[in-house]
Structure 1
Amino acid sequence: MRLFQKWPRIRLPGFHACGLCTATVPTPPLWLTERLALFEELWAAQVKKSTNMAQKEHRTIKISLPGGQKMNALAWSTTPYQLAWQISSTLANTAVAAEVNGELYDLVRPLETDSDVRFLTFESPEGKAVFWHSSTRVLGAAAEQLLGAVLCQGPSTEGGFYHDFFLGKGRSVQGSELPVLEKICQELIAAAHPFRRLEASRDQLLQLFREEYARRGFSEVKTPTLFSTKLWEQSGHWEHYREDMFSLQLPGSDRPPSFPGDHSSGHQAHTTLALKPMNCPAHCLMFAHRPRSWRELPLRLADFGALHRAEASGSLGGLTRLRCFQQDDAHIFCALDQLESEIRDALDFLRAVYAQLGFSFRLALSTRPSGFLGESHLWDHAEQVLHQALEEFGEPWDLRPEDGAFYGPKIDVHLQDALGRPHQCGTIQLDFQLPLRFGLQYKGHKGALERPVLIHRAVLGSVERMLGVLVESCGGKWPLWLSPFQVVVIPVGPEQEEYAREVQQCLQATGLSGDLDADSGLTLSRRVRRAQLAHYNFQFVVGQKEQSKRTVNIRTRDNRRLGERSLTEAVGRLLELQNTRVPNAEEMF
């Protein structure tokens, strides 16, 4: 059960999108009091500007509602909330936001021009998203007051919301703090503090947050993303990483911020998932370095390397958004008449990989934007091919008009992690411009030079982001084929330690991950329990009987006892299960 699941029955008056929540509880800290005072000053200036605009323009605007209903309103004065009251008190009491000319508006934001207005209630997906987003602001205000938290991201999900915030190195939310935190949230809601949307410049934002961040030792005003704590209460989910399988920059480290470093436990999963990331210009140069014939197409190229992106510090988040990452961005050069089969193959490959990882996904087709480059007939053909491929593919997909890149339409792949957060991972993107800019040509069937079409294909997207999603999804219990903790060998006593080392070496010689726990300071049962808590897929226990018969006694991380097997048989079966990449090796052993 989510922490604040009962909140949908409490109506909030608006929608707050910029993270500047003015809700407080008694005796706020000094830095919060100063921020609130500055907020009020900026808010007063914004209200004055809006009032001046309303007096200056004082004109009637036309409002169009769903179903063809028309209304009049005053520019810079009439709000969606006032319109809702004119329609019905029920609508005014149930609306949580409005969509104005395709843009989300809080209910008290004045309308400025002729507008198409649609009201959103909690019953609609968009209304739920607005409500949960507002709920995160209440949670953030409570966390600031109770815990002194520095707020990071706090978006909504399909079924609720969560909030990331920084509490200091090694600090996390304690179970005893949750009831107090919820009580403060309830008090904030009961106090009916308004949600207010403040448009602030960068300099104003620096003023609002400088003191708070300086108090925490940050030299620049940036949203810290290290050691963030996810506050969530839901059965079966890994609320935050129990072990630091991957780390970002630590104090005293030479590694730049947001450049992930694999610990030994994370290396196995990272290298297993690496599907040869790409570099677009390099592959274009490889295509162009000698004359090409139609017989060579489709030409598929791939390499492996790190990519860099100048992400704003406030947008960084764990493994899901980094400045240095790896991407399996394959490049396929093909003729126009090969496009359809290549797209189908790419979609089939994508489905096979996601099925192996245990993820469902949703696709989105993004078509030409207003500023597209290239010839219209090529775009028409490409969009038709993508549309037909998606229809034949049979998986759910959405249409996103005018959301494509300027150089070609694309299919994006979205999946959800264990917390319900959406992630854009894979992509299949057509590109008409790089072949043109690099002058790429090939000799066609009839001897004339023709220009290839370029397909950018990424299945995992960012390998690091996919790992972050997998960590949350697995909750530490990795499938055998991805697991950094496949087998631990546990000798019953010191007399069996030599044989246990032989078993470990046998595992490692075949490429399996095998560790040894010969800690004589712990009883056998405690070592078995430690292995289970560490989520080793299997434990090989060896005593005097196993040593004499060259066997192992096998247990799983869920404490299932599989019994005694010969060493050769056990290792062979593990290899078989790993190579077939089954998701439940412990049950199938």
Structure 2
Amino acid sequence: MKIEKGTNLLEYVKKNKLKDIIAAKIDGKIIDLDSTLDEDKEVEFISVNSEEGLEILRHSAAHIMAQAVQHVFGNAKFAIGPAIENGFYYDMDVGRTITDEDLKKIEKEMKKIVGANYKFERTEMPKEEAIKLFEEKGDEYKVEILKDIDEDVVSLYQQGDFVDLCRGPHIPSTGYLKHFKLLSVAGAYFKGDETRPMLQRIYGAAFATKEDLDKYLKFLEEVKKRDHRKLGRQLDLFSINDEVGPGLIIWHPKGAMLRYLIEEFERKEHLKRGYEFVKGPEILRTELWKRSGHFDHYRENMYFTEIDGQSFGIKPMNCLGHIQVYKSKKRSYRELPKRYFELGVVHRHEKSGVLHGLLRVREFTQDDAHIFCRPDQLNDEIIGVLEFVQDVMDIFGFEYELEISTRPENSIGTDEQWELATNALINALENTGRKYEINEGDGAFYGPKIDVKLKDAIGRKWQCATIQCDFTLPERFELTYIDEDGKEKQPVMVHRVILGSIERFIAILIENYEGDFPLWIAPVQGRIIPVSEKHLDYAHRLYEELKDKGFRIELEERNETVGKKIRFAETEKIPYALIVGDKEVESNTVSVRRRKEGDLGCMDIDSLVEKWNKEIADRR
């Protein structure tokens, strides 16, 4: 709307009773609502309910939290405090560990600050003057941030007695923040530098309405209940031991069985689709990583070692081993495409601050494959991978979304190669009628990619499968095939994973199913529970019979009541409890209980086996 020169936008909003407005946009730039126009302007008002409005609200919440921390601790030093999805955080040093009790005090103080309705006031000053201001406050983090700013004049915001370095914009006053909650405290390194002292990061949530906040807090409770780290301990699947090292997973028998079942499923699915199994070494000469571009573009994520005076890189990806398989002999156009598959163990140097259970680790296994094909085969091969992804996501019951990630700044290859590769991915998606979004600048350094983001049972999105189109590595490694005209031609290389990291996918499965796995991948499918010791012989015979038929069975031999034994099985999320007492021994049957369904009655063994086989075949 057109607004006249000299108008204060905040007064205009109040006068015209415009609801939920917290900022404005002029000529594409967002400004504070408490601004006065110096000429007639087209103004777009920003609602707190919009994406931009929520970001402003949450950024302001971080400032209010920092003010509350200053009141509670007195001597706090502050680093950064941005808005994030659903909330905000602030990194700080308060001289000691922040406890849950401290969070309650900080939140209580925030409510006082909100009630005081302090105005957010913007000022600008020379950078050197701002540096002096924060030096006097003893806040070395703000001083360092200021010294990194390549501007002569900087902006600060003040609400009440708290001043912070910030570009803005902010809500007009603290009273605009009504619905928020402090959530947790975590460690964080300043600028992500592990050589610096660790700061403390307070996370909070903020929303425009109480209903949205309550809904999000309920969602967080569900996330907490499903946390794969907690369930991993409860179900005895895996552990992470500081003595071994962060980001390194120790798989216990049940977790290792879950891995085996998923990996075996993958092997069979790949064989059905014409893939050949290969295996590359764990370390390769550093010269190869330089030739591929990994050394220049990815080495901060790699580990290196020296053997006999020569440098080797521990592989973060499997592509170079597969390239060597292709190069091992001359190839004819008739034998393409070649589809090489490996469950390849890779290592990546992840910073300790981002490690998270199975979701972010330093050693993991990829269901990695590389397809070497002729250019005229490329479209069909990409579509084949998309269909493979669809089949697997259907089996696990996941919906998903697709993104094409385009050329990043840090990349190799020519503009023509990138255009060819990007168009190949777009054409394949459009040929199949699949919807997709464009994610600018997030491709691999050697080629664009299709990213598959699955949605779990509570609506979270996870990056798993990816399809990357690559014209550059075949050129760098001089890969060729003899075409039908007798001339050497260069193949195209498709890098792809279906599940991605096996560790990460297992974490997603644990949280999606809440540890209650379908029968076909349950590490233990059933537990036999004898009513008393006199039923043990029959229980043992039943155990051996079901085990011989290929089922994953346990026998409960603890001297406890039947009720307790059943509760043990329920707590350990075992799909079936098979109870045997006098009646079952006499009739050569078993009393069957299905987790979450309860008592299914007595069955003879053949009927039970038939039921299980059908459930497994249906992958339920």
Normalised by the size of structure 2, how large is the TM-score? 0.64
1:257 aligns with 2:257: no
Contact residue 401 and residue 454 of structure 2 kept, 8 A: yes
Partners of 1:486 and 1:139 in 2: CA distance: 49
State the 1:306 CA deviation.
Answer: 1.6
1:123: which partner in 2? Answer: 49
1:270 aligns with 2:309: no
2:38: which partner in 1? Answer: none
2:611: which partner in 1? Answer: 573
Partners of 1:179 and 1:332 in 2: CA distance: 55
SS at match of 1:305: strand
Query: C-alpha deviations, 1:447-506, integer Å up to 9, x for none?
Result: 110001111111112221222222221112111122223211111111111221222233
Residue from 437, 445, 469 that aligns with 2:484:
445
1:299: which partner in 2? Answer: 338
Residue from 325, 332, 353 that aligns with 2:364:
325
Contact residue 188 and residue 198 of structure 2 kept, 8 A: no
State the 1:181 CA deviation.
Answer: 9.0
Distance 1:453 1:489, change over 3 A: same
State the 1:393 CA deviation.
Answer: 3.4
1:312: which partner in 2? Answer: 351
Partners of 1:128 and 1:134 in 2: CA distance: 10
1:470: which partner in 2? Answer: 509
SS at match of 2:245: coil
Query: C-alpha deviations, 1:32-81, integer Å up to 9, x for none?
Result: xxxxxxxxxxxxxxxxxxxxxxxxxxxxxxxxxxx9x9999xxxxxxxxx
Distance 1:573 1:418, change over 3 A: closer
SS at match of 1:304: strand
State the 1:86 CA deviation.
Answer: 9.6
1:552 aligns with 2:590: yes
Query: C-alpha deviations, 1:418-462, integer Å up to 9, x for none?
Result: 565433221111111111111100001211100011111111122
Distance 1:476 1:365, change over 3 A: same
Residue from 570, 574, 594 that aligns with 1:536:
574
Partners of 1:459 and 1:97 in 2: CA distance: 45
Q: How does 1:37-186 map to 2 (within 5 A)?
A: 94-95=21-22, 121-125=47-51, 127-128=53-54, 131=57, 160=86, 186=111
SS at match of 2:368: strand
273-282 or 190-199, which deviates more:
190-199
Partners of 1:263 and 1:137 in 2: CA distance: 45
Residue from 374, 380, 383 that aligns with 1:335:
374
1:233 aligns with 2:218: yes
Query: C-alpha deviations, 1:4-42, integer Å up to 9, x for none?
Result: xxxxxxxxxxxxxxxxxxxxxxxxxxxxxxxxxxxxxxx
Partners of 2:415 and 2:187 in 1: CA distance: 53
Partners of 1:533 and 1:143 in 2: CA distance: 41
Distance 1:382 1:243, change over 3 A: closer
Contact residue 10 and residue 33 of structure 2 kept, 8 A: no
| Structure with higher RCO (Cα < 8 A, 6+ apart) | 1
1:170: which partner in 2? Answer: none
Contact residue 21 and residue 45 of structure 2 kept, 8 A: no
2:76: which partner in 1? Answer: none
2:446: which partner in 1? Answer: 407
1:347 aligns with 2:338: no
Contact residue 96 and residue 131 of structure 1 kept, 8 A: no
The answer for unaligned runs of 5 or more in structure 2 is 36-41, 74-78, 92-98, 123-133, 135-140, 149-184, 202-215, 268-278, 280-316
SS at match of 2:519: coil
1:3: which partner in 2? Answer: none
What one-letter code is carried by the residue in structure 1 that aligns with 2:218? E
State the 1:334 CA deviation.
Answer: 0.7
Partners of 2:371 and 2:606 in 1: CA distance: 44
State the 1:305 CA deviation.
Answer: 2.7
State the 1:416 CA deviation.
Answer: 3.9
What one-letter code is carried by the residue in structure 2 that aligns with 1:267? A
State the 1:292 CA deviation.
Answer: 0.5
SS at match of 1:511: coil
Q: How does 1:422-437 map to 2 (within 5 A)?
A: 422-437=461-476
State the 1:126 CA deviation.
Answer: 5.1
Partners of 1:504 and 1:469 in 2: CA distance: 31
Distance 1:271 1:185, change over 3 A: farther
Query: C-alpha deviations, 1:355-408, integer Å up to 9, x for none?
Result: 222221111112334665444444334333322322343444211234433422
Distance 1:140 1:341, change over 3 A: farther
Partners of 2:261 and 2:473 in 1: CA distance: 31
Q: How does 1:27-42 map to 2 (within 5 A)?
A: none
* Alignment coverage as a number of residue pairs: 474
Partners of 1:336 and 1:106 in 2: CA distance: 54
Partners of 1:155 and 1:538 in 2: CA distance: 46
State the 1:555 CA deviation.
Answer: 0.7
Partners of 2:391 and 2:121 in 1: CA distance: 46
What one-letter code is carried by the residue in structure 2 that aligns with 1:273? I
Partners of 1:525 and 1:449 in 2: CA distance: 73
Normalised by the size of structure 1, how large is the TM-score? 0.67
Distance 1:446 1:497, change over 3 A: same
1:25: which partner in 2? Answer: none
1:16: which partner in 2? Answer: none
What one-letter code is carried by the residue in structure 2 that aligns with 1:124? S
Distance 1:408 1:477, change over 3 A: same
Distance 1:566 1:419, change over 3 A: closer
State the 1:346 CA deviation.
Answer: 0.6
Partners of 2:353 and 2:442 in 1: CA distance: 24
Distance 1:400 1:559, change over 3 A: closer
Partners of 1:155 and 1:500 in 2: CA distance: 59
Partners of 2:67 and 2:395 in 1: CA distance: 41
2:129: which partner in 1? Answer: none
Partners of 1:402 and 1:438 in 2: CA distance: 25
Distance 1:401 1:320, change over 3 A: same
State the 1:266 CA deviation.
Answer: 1.9
Contact residue 223 and residue 314 of structure 1 kept, 8 A: no
Distance 1:179 1:495, change over 3 A: farther
430-439 or 561-570, which deviates more:
561-570
Distance 1:138 1:488, change over 3 A: farther
Distance 1:101 1:456, change over 3 A: farther
SS at match of 2:536: helix
Q: How does 1:277-296 map to 2 (within 5 A)?
A: 279-296=318-335
The answer for unaligned runs of 5 or more in structure 1 is 1-66, 73-81, 110-115, 166-172, 226-230, 583-589
State the 1:308 CA deviation.
Answer: 1.1
Give the percent of matched residue pairs that are identical in Structure 1 and Structure 2. 31
Query: C-alpha deviations, 1:243-282, integer Å up to 9, x for none?
Result: 514555435x3x2211112222322322223347961000
SS at match of 2:320: helix
